[in-house]
Structure 1
Amino acid sequence: MTTKVSSSKTMAEQRRSNRSRHTKFHVFTTVCLIAIIFTYMFNTNTFVSNISFNFTPNTTIPFLSVNLLDNQTFIVNQLKSTSTLHNPVLIVKEVIVQKSVSEDDQNPLVPPINLTKKQRMSWFKNKLPEFDMLNSNQEFEIRAKEFFQDCNVRFFMTWISSPLRVFGKREFLAVDALFKSNPESCLMILSNVMDSDFGFQTLKPIIDRGFRVQALTPDLNFLFKNTPAKSWFDHIKNGNRDPGEIPLAQNLSNLIRLVVLYKFGGVYLDTDFIPLKDFSGLRNSIGAQSVNSLGNWTRLNNAVLIFDKNHPLLYKFIEEFALTFNGNRWGFNGPYLVSRVVEREATELESNFTVLPPLAFYPVDWTRIGGLFLRPVNQAHRKWAETKAAQIKESSYGIHLWNKQSRRFRIEEESIMARLISEHCVICKFFKKSQRLSHNSFSISS
């Protein structure tokens, strides 16, 4: 009996010992696996991009130039090899967050999904006071008038975004190319984010070369005053008009470009439009995006607008925006708006307004824009690229890059974009590892 009990105890101890060794083995295996995953994630930057830190979005990054903001591998390697940085992980997180924000999500006032119209209007009414750009900026009118003295052409861009959305190298390229072809002109960037130390540092390479560019927070009360935009703006702020599901920043940009041209006159350009020619010879024009077989336009676009101050067509655009605003249909308050107004008012506009052909501003359709960025794969492709680049250089005032479609592309060497940029940039920051493109890197066959 004693022997049997002793044997049972021995077996139980062996089982416990086996379980203990088994448990220790599992723990050891798990620790090793976690270590492997941790090492892999760190080396591929996944670890950094998945950690949440509290940081101030407006913090500047003085040691990083604009053309490096998208190069995560470079940034991590730089931080690993630099011992003087006080908080490198925080800086890396800031850059990665800035890169990861969608271009379509420029508006910090994006309502929750699945709200009813009434709920969305109430939500916006409560949130709008937090949107600092809606506050009055009494310095705007004075600063704008002072800035535009002695300008050959007044250019405008808008950059209405959350602090997490940086004015990147694609946008910088548009500014760079503008002053190559229009050196005596002035560019005002209407922006709630770029009117800051960060914005100044971003634009400083252009300013240091003597070109006139300034970011300024717009005063919407001043711009909308004595126009139909005022009533629309009041209804939005009071919660009596549905802003819709489309980001409010997009529709504000559609409206601001109209009112700023109405108040000052000049040229509006999207930040993904690359100018190639002098605009001083253009007046009261808009570009066709597409035409039919007879050459008649079928759709206009508002990415480029050239108008005199107080032009009556601009007033009709603003009026149409206020009366028919729909915040739930993409393009309804933008390209489709200018198209339907011009079609309706065509008979009264012939003497003081021009519709330019697609080749002027939209030489490549949005469905084919990726082809401009690719390196030729053979001799036939190379010859076509040279011919297309020469055609654009000869006949186009610029190229709209349809950034929603092309933002994932880098400009490859010998591509059409590379050929054009090599002759149409001042600072020439470029989309490749070297970050620069020599003016002599490419030639264009005539």
Structure 2
Amino acid sequence: MTGSYCAQCGHVCRLAALRRAPCLSAPTRRGRGPLSRHSGQSLDVCCERSGLSPAPPTPNNAARFPANVRPQLAQLTACSDCSRMTAHATSTSSSADIFATKAGFYFANRYLSLWEDVPWSGLRPRQACAVESAVHHNPGRPVYLLHTCEAPASGTWLPAGATAVHVTTEEFLRDTPLYAPLIENGALAASRWPVHHASDVMRLVALWKYGGLYLDLDFVVLRNLSQMGENWIAAESASSIANGAMHMSLRPGSAGEELANTYMETLRTDFNGQQWTSNGGAILKKLLTRRCNVNKVIRMRNCRGFRVLRPLLLYPVPFERWRRYFSEEDTRSTLAVMHRAYAAHVWNKVSEEADVVPQNSVYATLARENCPNSFRAAAGHF
């Protein structure tokens, strides 16, 4: 491998060969073996416009997923802006929690360091809220936060009840059908949006390997998500499907396993680095149109055991009305619309421009009730 992508400056570096130590223990059949935090040292490389800038190696203690863990809730996270994320949260669970046998969660943001371990100071307040709210409404269920950047040494960046597991994109895809086309042949690095597409790929791989439920980090969880059952995806509008929230079971012959296998094979043959949504919602819409034998998302319901949920359950406020989360004038009416929702997607891609969350807004109200520690720790900078 001769290239590295850096989320901090948004460039693919091809200026020098990279020397790295192995990061993960060898996977077992279908790549479902233990995920291991990086236990060696590596030459961290971050791209700058003037060239490559190595960072000091950062060792980490090993932590593993047991092969028998099959998470029910999942959300992958990664590093946005290699070193400038705001440190936040109140506590972190011990690495021993990795060995829990109950089904747990994964949490991915769209920002990843594709190849190298880079410094990271932790979750931003709104991301921490997603993790905390998942823990809060699903007591006793381990929450696993997968990230591609070296975690901060301090244990104060992760909400209590969640466990971070460090992976790299290259090793996470190893022993999957996607490794040859995307990693060895360089299709992922050559993408016009390598970070976004890496996130699309890694969330699929997580569900394909372990099964469970994936959520983006710009959700606020409002109730126990196990009540939604299994094998589903949420439409984000009457005409579109998003891969920001989806559940796929690994039970042999289940609809979730069938769709995960079909999705994996389609990405292997049809990965498209030139279109923004081509490897996520667009592929899933095509696959479900065929599976459901209908030509409109609004007509999709139960498609041979795989359900397409209505937007109201997870995307109660449409994309074009995202400002309602930050308005103090619409709080009562917006909360009324959300009374049946299991989670609220706050559209971080556009809403991150709203630096201030008014105290009486919908978002602040949801945060105080569902992620009080993250909201309080933000000290007015949520």
Instruction: Give your verdict on TM over 0.5.
Output: yes
| Structure 1 stretches lacking a partner, 5+ long | 1-104, 112-122, 292-297, 437-446
Matched, 1:386 2:332: yes
Give the Å deviation of 1:435. 5.6
Letter in 1 for 2:164: Q
Separation of aligned partners in 2, 1:242 and 1:182: 35
Contact 1:361/1:397 (CA < 8 Å) preserved in 2? yes
Contact 2:324/2:334 (CA < 8 Å) preserved in 1? no
The correspondence of residues 61-100 of structure 1 with structure 2, limited to 5 A, is none
Separation of aligned partners in 2, 1:195 and 1:358: 34
Contact 2:119/2:151 (CA < 8 Å) preserved in 1? no
Q: 1:147 maps to which residue?
A: 98
Q: 2:235 maps to which residue?
A: 288
Give the Å deviation of 1:344. 2.1
Larger radius of gyration: 1
Give the Å deviation of 1:362. 0.9
Separation of aligned partners in 2, 1:222 and 1:288: 27
Give the Å deviation of 1:403. 0.8
TM-score (norm 2): 0.68
Q: 1:185 maps to which residue?
A: 141
Cα separation, partners in 2 of 1:399 and 1:290, compared to 1, 3 Å = same
Give the Å deviation of 1:401. 1.4
The correspondence of residues 26-175 of structure 1 with structure 2, limited to 5 A, is 106=7, 110-111=11-12, 129=18, 136-138=23-25, 140=35, 143-145=64-66, 147=98, 149-151=100-102, 153-159=103-109, 160-161=112-113, 163=119, 167-175=123-131
State the Cα RMSD in Å: 3.1
Q: 1:334 maps to which residue?
A: 280
Matched, 1:304 2:245: yes
Matched, 1:202 2:157: yes
Letter in 1 for 2:242: N
Give the Å deviation of 1:285. 0.7
Separation of aligned partners in 2, 1:127 and 1:183: 47
Contact 2:232/2:309 (CA < 8 Å) preserved in 1? yes
Letter in 1 for 2:106: F
Match of 1:247 among 184, 193, 211: 193
Give the Å deviation of 1:330. 0.8
Q: Deviations over 1:270-312 (max 9, x none)?
A: 1111111101122011001111xxxxxx211000111112611
Higher strand share: 2
Contact 2:142/2:162 (CA < 8 Å) preserved in 1? yes
Matched, 1:232 2:181: yes
Contact 1:109/1:247 (CA < 8 Å) preserved in 2? no
Q: 2:370 maps to which residue?
A: 424
Cα separation, partners in 2 of 1:301 and 1:243, compared to 1, 3 Å = same
Letter in 2 for 1:356: L
Contact 1:362/1:399 (CA < 8 Å) preserved in 2? yes
Q: Deviations over 1:352-380 (max 9, x none)?
A: 2110000111111212111211222xxxx
Cα separation, partners in 2 of 1:263 and 1:201, compared to 1, 3 Å = same
**Residue aligned with 1:144, SS:** coil
Give the Å deviation of 1:336. 1.2
Number of residue-to-residue matches in the alignment: 294
Q: 1:3 maps to which residue?
A: none
Cα separation, partners in 2 of 1:189 and 1:164, compared to 1, 3 Å = closer
**Residue aligned with 2:370, SS:** coil
Letter in 2 for 1:407: E
Q: 1:361 maps to which residue?
A: 314
Separation of aligned partners in 2, 1:278 and 1:192: 28
Contact 2:325/2:346 (CA < 8 Å) preserved in 1? no
Cα separation, partners in 2 of 1:429 and 1:313, compared to 1, 3 Å = same
